[in-house]
Amino acid sequence: MNTELFEALKLLEKEKGIPVEYMLSQIEKSILVACKSAYGGNNDARVEMDPEKGKFDVYLNKEVVEEVFDPDYEISLQDARAINAKAQLEDKVGVKLDPKQFGRIAVQVARNTIRQGIRDGEKSQVLVEFQSKVQEIVSAQVERVDPKTGNATIRIGKAEAVLPRGEQVAGEVIHEGDTIKVYVADVKNTEKGPRVIISRTHPDFVKRLFEKEVPEIYDGIVEIKSVSREAGSRTKIAVFSRDENVDPRGACIGPRGVRVGAIVNELAGEKIDVVEYSEDPVKFIAAALSPAEVVKVEVDPNGEKVCKATVPDSQLSLAIGNKGQNARLAAKLTGWKIDIRPESGFFGEDEEDTSDKKEEYIGDGLE
């Protein structure tokens, strides 16, 4: 039976990743609980376990006395010397126990302790496994998709996590059995166990995709300065080269657009603007408003991060973008408040409909 127990623990470690040493500690804890239940509250016990030798022995410590009044706590000198010939009065002697004598209630208590230990061990393994992957991209297997909520249960290694519908890229359809990439944003240890926050909409998901796809970024030659994203629609990413001989935009786009194309495919067709970062805010803001052309950028002389960007009349709609998206992403990318104006100073014939285009777009800082 002892050999079978240790084999079962090794199998548990292999299948669920719970270390044998951890489960042995839980078994020892359960035995002490069982002793307390079976022997009148006495849990002064010693457990000796040796997986290599298949040894599993339990000893209940009892005090050596002249006359026994409480057999759960006391042992006579004669019986004690049968165990240890040198035993003296008031010594403690370990009496070897047969776990089968614990009784049904004690065994049930022990089982519950072991089960709880397995659950705690699984939660601990999940926490450890995911903590090592925080702020990284991992591949996951989709196990099931809730038809009502759209939430996907995915498996990462030996652990499960939930990818909420709101963290999935708009327009993409995930099926059971698919292998997908997700970004591990955070891991929180709650009362109900580890809560893993995973996402495909997080701006850093795109950042990590570029790091994997572009060797120059991985090698530190090209640096990603900031990312602004409206998942499923458009992303702007600002890049900078530490080597004047390396074009940061060209490196990220790749030959014939192969590199950025692979990322676009991963994001279900999401548009990506690769912008060259500059320490000069005028150049950076002008680049951030691409694909629109910018005639000039005037920064606030008072030092506030506020500017006016002037664009050709024909480029006004392009600069602002659909529902203000292009200007909004540019503001987030640069961290500047941008007031976009047409070169002529007029907003076109349909002034009532286009006057909202003159609104200022506020960046919330580099992400």
Q: Looking at the domain assignment, is residue 182 inside a domain?
A: yes
Q: Looking at the domain assignment, is residue 131 inside a domain?
A: no
Same domain, 11 and 103: yes
CA atoms within 13 A on the CB side of 112: 8
11: how many CB neighbours lie within 10 A of its CB? 11
Q: 38 vs 271, which has greater pLDDT?
A: 271
Q: Looking at the domain assignment, is residue 163 inside a domain?
A: yes
CATH number of the domain enclosing 146: 2.40.50.140
Same domain, 115 and 14: yes
Taking alpha carbons only, the member of 313, 188, 288, 282 closest to residue 235 is: 288
Say if residues 224 and 263 touch (Cβ distance below 8 Å): no
Same domain, 318 and 206: no
pTM (predicted TM-score): 0.65
Q: Looking at the domain assignment, is residue 283 inside a domain?
A: no
Query: In the predicted model, is pLDDT for residue 140 greater than 60?
Result: yes
Same domain, 226 and 180: no
- CA 268/CA 252 separation, integer angstroms: 18
H or E segment at 273? strand 271-276
Give the pLDDT confidence score for residue 333 in this predicted structure: 96
Q: Which amino acid is at 330?
A: A
Say if residues 320 and 358 touch (Cβ distance below 8 Å): no
Given 228, 251, 277, which residue is the final one in a domain?
277
Same domain, 40 and 119: yes
Same domain, 142 and 229: no
Given 76, 95, 123, which residue is the final one in a domain?
123
Given 177, 198, 219, which residue is the final one in a domain?
198
Taking alpha carbons only, the member of 195, 183, 273 closest to residue 228 is: 273
Query: In the predicted model, is pLDDT for residue 349 greater than 50?
Result: no
Q: Looking at the domain assignment, is residue 282 inside a domain?
A: no
Q: What is the pLDDT of residues 266-295, one digit of tens each?
A: 998 999 999 999 999 999 999 999 999 999
Give the pLDDT confidence score for residue 318 in this predicted structure: 94
Same domain, 268 and 301: no
Q: Looking at the domain assignment, is residue 97 inside a domain?
A: yes
- CA 331/CA 120 separation, integer angstroms: 46
Instruction: Read off the pLDDT of each residue in 188-215 and give the average, rounded to a whole number.
Output: 87
Instruction: Read off the pLDDT of each residue in 321-341 and give the average, rounded to a whole number.
Output: 94
Q: 193 vs 222, which has greater pLDDT?
A: 222
Taking alpha carbons only, the member of 115, 113, 95 closest to residue 39 is: 95
Domain count, the chain: 4
- CA 249/CA 254 separation, integer angstroms: 8
Q: What is the pLDDT of residues 214-229, one digit of tens each?
A: 999 999 999 999 999 9
Q: Looking at the domain assignment, is residue 63 inside a domain?
A: yes
Tokens matching residue 279:
């320490």
- Which domain range does residue 353 map to? 289-367
Burial of 175 from C-beta contacts in 10 A (0-12 / 13-18 / 19+): exposed
- CA 55/CA 65 separation, integer angstroms: 30
Taking alpha carbons only, the member of 298, 304, 339 closest to residue 319 is: 339
Same domain, 239 and 307: no
CATH number of the domain enclosing 22: 3.30.1480.10
Same domain, 8 and 40: yes
CATH number of the domain enclosing 235: 3.30.300.20
Taking alpha carbons only, the member of 367, 348, 287 closest to residue 297 is: 287
Taking alpha carbons only, the member of 129, 130, 153, 151 closest to residue 141 is: 153
Same domain, 161 and 241: no
Q: How many residues does the chain have?
A: 367
Same domain, 178 and 222: no
Q: Which amino acid is at 121?
A: G
Q: Looking at the domain assignment, is residue 130 inside a domain?
A: no
Query: In the predicted model, is pLDDT for residue 131 greater than 80?
Result: no
H or E segment at 104? helix 104-131
Same domain, 264 and 346: no
